[in-house]
Copies of this chain bind each other. A is one copy, B any other.
Amino acid sequence: MRVNYKKELEEAARNMILVHKPHTLIRMILRTIVRKVKIEHAGTLLYEKTRNSYIVTITRGQVGAKLPAGFIRLDPDAPIIRFFRHKEAYLSFFEDGALILSRVNYLLQKKELFHNDPETEKLLIAIKFQMKSFDAVVSVPCYFQNDLLGVLMLGEKVSKKCFKDEEIDFFIALANDVAMALRNAFLFEDLQLEIERNKRLFFETTMALAAAIDAKDHYTRGHTSRVTEYSLAIAKLIAADANGRSDDKFFEELHIASMLHDIGKIGVPESILNKNGPLTEEERKKINEHSLIGATILGPIKNLDGVILGIKHHHERHDGRGYPEGLGGEAIPYVARIISVADSFDAMTTDRPYRKAFTRDYAIVELERCSGSQFHPQIVKAAVTLYKRGELK
């Protein structure tokens, strides 16, 4: 055995605990094994909970790929998996915990062993063929507690020598570390999936509620989802032009604020929202309260400050003549500036109680005309660019 390869492998396994993607982790450990132990190739069967099956991962060794390329799945009934999942039943054959091809062959020659146990003989024959199909001479299970999280499949040594007992023992110990790191990575993956699931639930529920409130106003059906789409597209373009890095927090705030920019309409009487004819001064005032009402509804929620400001100020104007506070220029929160342009574009291109929709071409000309007065020029410029690229659908 080469000096220190154990130490190096142990250290590699230990460093793996900070790799939280099971596939990356497995590729790393396989590469290290192939290089340090000088074997032809190595692979794994890695458990995937969502499909209750084992996915085949391979690594190319020093003499090229020997294991089948691509992703193959083995279900829990596959011979090798069955063997390791029910190891108690076969301990008399493999007291050391690993499957060694030469030992399988040796046992199968002794027919008398299986007189009373043809099932085990059948299983061993199937295992033999499965190991050969992977070109593996040793299979080492990775258990966490009693769960089989994976199996290391090792090819021949480059030197063609057999693995020694102590080497097999070492791999079994190493597989323990791998199992621990895998378990850790799986737990991490679970948490990350939960985060994604929760986020999706949040966005979908908020959107559904916002759309329902939208629907109260007969003339703005679908408005919320279109404004959200436009806002995000505009922000993406500006971020790409600026530095290419995306500020997740900003995008999330913009996303939420866009979805909820009109929720204050819940506080405006239906009779005004759906009035068929010109609004009185009084009614107009009432409608204009919606941005402030929206901010008030969300007011008590922690960590939503950026969103609330975006909603509150989405009717401010660049020249300071908007509402509710008459903020102007750079004093208007960035989220609000974007929503303002997206909102106006959608308002112009949909039917209103008192007029038909304008064409998109006309709406873009209007945005440009009001750039610097109603709208922030940078946002208008981005909207126009998107439109010209056909991305403001």
Contact = CB atoms under 8 A, between A and B. Distances in A.
Task: Report, as a range, how many residues of chain A touch the other chain.
Answer: 35 or more
B200 A198 contact: no
Interface string A188-228: 10011011011111101110111111011000000000000
A252 to B, nearest CB: 10
Given A14-B180, A17-B181, A18-B183, A199 B200 contact: no
Contacts of A181: 17
Contact of A263 (B197, B212, B298, B303): B212
A353 interface: no
A70 interface: no
Interface in A239-268: 256, 263, 266-267
A126 interface: no
Q: Which of A17, A197, A256 has the most CB of B within 10 A?
A: A17
Nearest to A213: B266
Interface string A30-47: 000000000000000000
A64 interface: no
A169 to B, nearest CB: 15
Given A17-B180, A184-B18, A297 B208 contact: yes
A15 interface: yes
A209 B192 CA distance: 27
A267 B215 contact: yes
A118 interface: no
A198 B267 CA distance: 27
Contacts of A357: none
Contacts of A301: 201, 204-205, 208
A43 B197 CA distance: 40
A302 interface: yes
A304 interface: yes
A368 B219 CA distance: 47
Given A201-B202, A201-B303, A206-B205, A212 B297 contact: yes
27 contacts: A14-B14, A14-B180, A17-B180, A17-B181, A184-B184, A187-B188, A195-B195, A197-B303, A198-B202, A201-B202, A202-B202, A204-B302, A205-B298, A205-B301, A205-B304, A206-B206, A208-B297, A208-B301, A209-B209, A209-B263, A209-B297, A212-B263, A212-B267, A212-B297, A213-B266, A266-B266, A270-B270
Given A17-B180, A204-B301, 16 more contacts: A17-B17, A18-B184, A191-B195, A194-B195, A197-B303, A201-B303, A204-B302, A208-B301, A209-B210, A209-B263, A212-B266, A213-B213, A213-B266, A215-B267, A216-B266, A269-B270
